[in-house]
Amino acid sequence: MDVSIIIPTYNRLWSLPRAVDSCRNTICKTEIIVVDDGSTDGTSDWLKQQQDIVVVSQNNQGQTYAINNGVKLAKGKYMRFLDSDDFLNPEVIDLQFNKAENEAADLVYSGVGSYLEESKVKIPPPEIAPWGDFLEVQLSNRYGSHFLGMLFKTDMVHKAPRRPEFALREDRAFLLEYGLLNPKIAFVNVCAGYWTKHSTQMQGNYSGLKAQVANWQQLTLFKKILSALESSGELTDARKKAACTVLWPLAHWIAIHHLTEAVEVVKWIHQLDPNFQPPEQGMLGKLYKKLGFKNAEKILKLRRSVVNIFR
């Protein structure tokens, strides 16, 4: 088997057939593994009618467990992941497989576009050039493609399982932990497929307590990854600066509910990059630079309170 495609799904019969169809008709030998995470919308009935799919059914446990259960069954030399509301472009599986084989690559990546489900509009991916340092890109807020645009070496995927403790940031966690394995990377300059934007999207609906948990998971993840890099002597200045571009906005979101913890994040940012400057322009930028992070966030909190009174 050349390539295994893992598709976790939960109540997405409206999009699952499109995702599966986008994985068919390859030249290389592929297997499509769909993990049904306890769907109640007729997904299981549709899957029973498909003759070319490996079906895994489980009680509803969440995407993290669904992906890991699919990975356990994968027989391909390479593996890729596809959410059941997204879809691939024709030929990308073969193009990336051939690239991996020809260059002995552990990870092959391409750009990923966006698809607006309601309007049926396709948006091409941003310009993407070959990356010199995979981890630097994934640690930063730069465009780092999307896992649906990547092909991974199966034996390395087993060393970076999806982790329940990072369930709300599992994609970022997987890519960073895979990056710690120092994969040899290769680039195929095509649009691999489309990340679909719609009203029921999981990450687009993080709010309230779930948003706070997601922020905490992001912070914990970065602490873990940067600590591992520091221990191995691989925490370069470029990687430190890249991480700061994510940690700074994260500190702001944490400050909304937990100012003391957010201040500690900002201290860490300045330890990583003593020359770090807030990127905000205009009045907000002046607040951060003149008053410091803590006082600026106090003023922002007061402003939010005043605005809420008149809503």
pLDDT by 10s per residue, the chain, length 311: 999 999 999 999 999 999 999 999 999 999 999 999 999 999 999 999 999 999 999 999 999 999 999 999 999 999 999 999 999 999 999 999 999 999 999 999 999 999 999 999 999 999 988 999 999 999 999 998 899 999 999 999 999 999 999 999 999 999 999 999 999 999 999 999 999 998 776 555 567 888 899 999 999 999 999 999 999 999 999 999 999 999 999 999 999 999 999 999 999 999 999 999 999 998 888 989 899 999 989 988 888 877 677 76
The confidence score (pLDDT) of residue 23 equals 98
Both 171 and 26 in one domain: the answer is yes
Q: Do residues 211 and 156 both lie within one domain? A: no
CATH code of the domain containing 147: 3.90.550.10
Q: Are residues 135 and 38 in the same domain?
A: yes
Q: Where does a domain end: 203, 235, 260?
A: 203
Sequence letter at residue 279? P
Q: pLDDT value at position 145?
A: 87
Same domain, residue pair 9 and 93: yes
Does residue 77 share a domain with residue 183? yes
Q: How far apart are CA 223 and CA 219, in angstroms?
A: 6
**189 and 79 in one domain?**
yes
137 & 170 share domain: yes
- Residue 205's pLDDT is what? 53
Distance CA 39, CA 61 (A): 11
- Could you tell me the residue range of the domain that residue 88 belongs to? 3-203
Domain boundary among 203, 221, 251: 203
Letter for the amino acid at 61? Q
Report the distance separating Cα 264 and Cα 186, nearest Å.
Answer: 37
Question: DSSP assignment, residue 157?
Answer: H
Do residue 58 and residue 45 come from a single domain? yes
The total number of structural domains that make up the chain = 2
Among 159, 179, 203, the domain boundary falls at 203
Tokens of 302: 């007061």
Residues 85, 217, single domain; the answer is: no
Shared domain check, 120 and 57 = yes
24 and 156 both lie in a single domain: yes
> Are residue 170 and residue 242 in the same domain, yes or no?
no
